Amino acid sequence: MSAALDKGLVRWLAAAPCADAVAADWLEAQRAQARARVVDQGIPDSKAENWRYTSLTRLLAQGFVHVAEALTAVQRDDLEDLLIPGLESYRVLMVNGRFMPGLSDLHDLPDGVRIAGLAAVLKSDPDALRERLNGSVGDEQPLFAALNTAGLDDGLVILLERGARLERPIELIHLSVGMDEPRVAQPRHIIALGDCAQANLIERYLSLGDSLYCTNAVVEITLGRDAVFTHQRIQSESARAFHLSGLYLSLGAASRYQGTNVGLGASWARTDLYVRFKGEHAECDLQGLYLAGDGQLMDFHLDVDHQLPQCTSRENFSGILYGKGRAVFDGLVRVARDAQQTDAAMTNRNLLLCEGAEVDTKPQLQIHADDVKCSHGTTVGQIDPEQLFYLRSRGISAARARRLLCLGFAGEILDTLVPEALREQVAEQVGRRLEQAPLD
């Protein structure tokens, strides 16, 4: 089975997890198993279904090594410019994949809510995580989840007991700072909401400076019965960065997950979303917006598996591509024979502003039940000349008019962001990106 391991993968795997991550036996066993899995799988080639449109060559050629030490040089003053004005949040700061308690603000957490660094919890209370770690990922770990497990040493743990609620969003800032040698940070976040619990998590991927690094994050989310989770992820990595993230969702009965993924930064970005329904009447709403310009790749993979009846899912992704930007949207919704009354709708819309831009879009429904409501649609188009003429006839310049239309196109997804302060900040980022785009 095992293909020859690329040098890049060997380097990635070779560096040991951070020494202060105390390893319980079960964790050591998980790491070893994950290592074996990486070696077993080898590097997927272009025939592998999941990697048909995206090559790993450029990623592995960088020779990324797992970050093994905490970077303490970052000070509070360095963060000023990164904060979103008017956003009141419980703020967690991670630098190069390490939780920084001194830079985080977690005061006044209500009862029943635990937010802590993964390394700290592994040290003080490892059993709290024993069932949860890889609980959503499972044993059949995809390559980058397995790499994450093999190097696992830190991340964030968010546990809400039954009925617990957070009034303010949790804001998780992933800050990356380039180092001499290309490094990969591999945070693992474990999020579990008990029955009826409610929370809003904002994940922001940012960098200081224009540095080369890689993020390989894995987020595991388990929602109890009637739990409600809003999850907003804004990827604004540096223009030279590589970004991988895998989201693994387990949704309890009648729980609601509302997620918005915004992909703006990085040179090469791949996001995998896995959704598993564990109870009936659960709802999963996945929204996405991506921008890709020269030298950028944005790749989104969705795997939504309706095994149980009466669940609802929405997959709604929009992309704006310009220059020589490339995007991949590979969305799979499966509906098992017993998953009657599934309601699923997937759409992927793309706006291509330049001839050199490109998108591979592949929405797929595999339906084995007969009483379901499922649909999918995809569009790849240019700016409508009539809309453009209408705006120009009102005195608005061609370039400004194109930007307005792009922002309008993105508006449907941007409108799902809450609170207002976040929406405004992201809309502004999108606007700024479009300002730099060659739109003619």
Partner 1 sequence: MLSVKGLRAKVGEKEILKGLDLEVGRGEVHAIMGPNGSGKSTLAHVLAGREDYRVTAGTVTFEGRDLLALTPEERAHLGLFLAFQYPVELPGVNNTYFLKAALNAIRSARGQPELDAVAFLRLMRERLKVLYLDDSLLKRPVNFGFSGGEKKRNEIFQMALLEPKLAILDETDSGLDIDVLRIVADGVNALRGLERSVILVTHYQRLLDYIEPDFVHVLAHGRIIRSGGKELALELEEKGYGWLGAEEAA
Residue numbers at the binding site for partner 1 (CB under 8 A)? 385-387, 389-398, 400, 404-405, 407-412
Q: Taking the complex as a whole, how short is the minimal distance between the CB of residue 321 and partner 1, in angstroms? A: 17
Pick 365 or 404: Cβ nearer partner 1: 404
Pick 40 or 389: Cβ nearer partner 1: 389
Q: Taking the complex as a whole, how short is the minimal distance between the CB of residue 389 and partner 1, in angstroms? A: 5
Q: Taking the complex as a whole, how short is the minimal distance between the CB of residue 397 and partner 1, in angstroms? A: 5
CB 327 within 8 A of CB 320: no
Pick 87 or 388: Cβ nearer partner 1: 388
Pick 280 or 412: Cβ nearer partner 1: 412
Return all residues near 148 (Cβ < 8 A) that are at least 6 apart. Answer: 34, 186, 188, 216, 217, 218, 246
CB 292 within 8 A of CB 265: no
Pick 47 or 394: Cβ nearer partner 1: 394
Pick 317 or 409: Cβ nearer partner 1: 409
Q: Taking the complex as a whole, how short is the minimal distance between the CB of residue 264 and partner 1, in angstroms? A: 18
CB 38 within 8 A of CB 143: yes
Q: Taking the complex as a whole, how short is the minimal distance between the CB of residue 405 and partner 1, in angstroms? A: 7
Pick 376 or 392: Cβ nearer partner 1: 392
Which of 188, 97, 190 lies closest to 147 in space, CA to CA?
A: 188
